Copies of this chain bind each other. A is one copy, B any other.
């Protein structure tokens, strides 16, 4: 697995606690271990949607990284919340739909610990350029 496919360099991803389960060209599977801070409101069994959208953004990005070898800025992200995500780990699978010279597109499916599909994400990422400053996402 490429060293690009790790999360230890990022304070936000360390906070989330992400773990790569599996990665191949064009596909990546990531686990988000449960933390109490992810709960929507006290006494609830549901995770907050913001956790789900952050996971979708990151896993789509890393699906692109499996092909390009480097992190890429997100241009835009859509998340559809299909069902509430129950307390427990989340498992996300990201797949590239297209890796182009200008932009790449990836799809993400997120399941909760019961295996229920709780959200789908679709995002566009800027393709890496030889040199140049970090620009978005």
B126 near A102: Cβ-Cβ < 8 Å? yes
Least distance between A3 CB and chain B CB atoms (Å): 13
B78 near A135: Cβ-Cβ < 8 Å? no
Interface residues of A (CB under 8 A from B): 9-16, 36-42, 44, 46-51, 53-55, 57-58, 73-84, 97-98, 100, 102-103, 105, 117, 120, 122, 124, 126, 134-137
Selected from B42, B46, B54, B122, the residue in CB contact (under 8 A) with A78 is B122
Least distance between A112 CB and chain B CB atoms (Å): 12
Could you tell me the distance between the alpha carbons of A9 and B39 in the complex, rounded to whole angstroms?
A: 10
Closest 7 CB pairs of A and B: A50-B54, A12-B48, A15-B37, A49-B137, A11-B39, A53-B53, A81-B136
Least distance between A14 CB and chain B CB atoms (Å): 8
Selected from B12, B39, B79, B122, the residue in CB contact (under 8 A) with A10 is B39
Chain B residue at minimal CB-CB distance from A77: B79
Could you tell me the distance between the alpha carbons of A78 and B80 in the complex, rounded to whole angstroms?
A: 9
Contact flag A75-B103 (CB < 8 Å), given A81-B137, A97-B120, A136-B82:
yes
A37 near B12: Cβ-Cβ < 8 Å? yes
